[in-house]
Amino acid sequence: MDAEREIQNLKDKIDKAKALRYKAEARLEELQKQKQQLLEELESLDVKPEDLDVEIETLTKEIGELLEKTKRLIPKDI
């Protein structure tokens, strides 16, 4: 491979790397905005991010209890 082709090949790779970097930076910015929106939504629900696992467990249990209660209220002969 001659020097000109090698230089062009390297330039192409650099351009491709720059394009990938710009895409990654844009994606990072988008994800940071989403994170901020989620944190704001959690705040409006009075839930701290570190309490999410407990909150999910509590809600899952509550849903299960409500389903059982609903089943008991439905007549069995239907």
H helices of 1-78, in order, are: 3-44, 52-73
Q: How far apart are the first and last CA of the chain?
A: 82
Sequence-distant (≥ 6) Cβ neighbours of residue 1 within 8 angstroms:
9
| pTM as predicted | 0.64
The total of other beta-carbon atoms located within 10 Å of residue 64's CB is 10
Residue 78 is predicted with a pLDDT of 73
Q: What is the pLDDT of residue 1?
A: 63
Amino acid 6: pLDDT? 94
Give the pLDDT of the chain (78 residues) as one tens digit per residue.
699 999 999 999 999 999 999 999 999 999 999 999 999 999 999 999 999 999 999 999 999 999 999 999 998 877
> Within 13 Å of residue 42, how many CA atoms lie on the same side as its CB?
15
